[in-house]
């Protein structure tokens, strides 16, 4: 998959940002997640996991590990998207902008 699709619209694509996403996705795999996305929003990373894996992602020890590891990658804020993983999630902002009156 193209890692640049993990960056928020308007965010310049750089090797450092792509590397952070790639390393973040490796962290998720090593923690046993199977269906997920790491979304880069500057200082904020938004983690999407499959709804079936949400309980696991919310376990205290997993939350602490995710926060520690993603902060080590340079993210100030580590968030979990409660809607879960879904394709096209980065396009939701475009739909909201184009549907405003």
User: pLDDT (tens digit, 0 to 9) for every residue of the chain, 101 residues total?
Assistant: 678 778 777 777 888 988 998 999 999 999 999 999 999 998 999 999 999 999 999 999 999 999 999 999 999 999 999 998 876 554 454 444 455 56
pLDDT at residue 89, as a whole number: 52
Q: How far apart are CA 39 and CA 46, in angstroms?
A: 5
The DSSP secondary structure of 29-84, one letter per residue, reads HHTT--SEEEEEETTEEEEEE-GGGHHHHTSHHHHHHHHHHHHHTT-SEEEE-TT-
Domain CATH for 16: 3.30.300
pLDDT at residue 56, as a whole number: 97
The parent domain of residue 84 ranges over 3-98
The neighbour count for residue 14, using CB atoms within 10 Å, is 11
pLDDT at residue 100, as a whole number: 57
Q: How many domains does the chain have?
A: 1
Q: Which residues pair with 45 in a beta bridge?
A: 40, 78
pLDDT at residue 2, as a whole number: 79
């Amino acid at each position: 998959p193209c890692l640049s699709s993990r960056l928020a619209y308007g965010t310049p694509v750089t090797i450092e940002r792509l590397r952070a996403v790639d390393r973040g996705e490796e962290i998720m795999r090593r923690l046993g997640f199977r269906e997920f996305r790491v979304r880069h929003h500057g200082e904020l990373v938004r983690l999407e996991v499959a709804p079936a894996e949400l309980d696991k992602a919310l376990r205290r020890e997993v939350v602490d590990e995710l926060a520690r590891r993603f902060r080590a990658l340079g993210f100030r804020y580590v968030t979990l998207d409660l809607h879960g993983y879904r394709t096209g999630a980065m396009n939701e902002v475009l739909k909201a902008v184009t549907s405003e009156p």
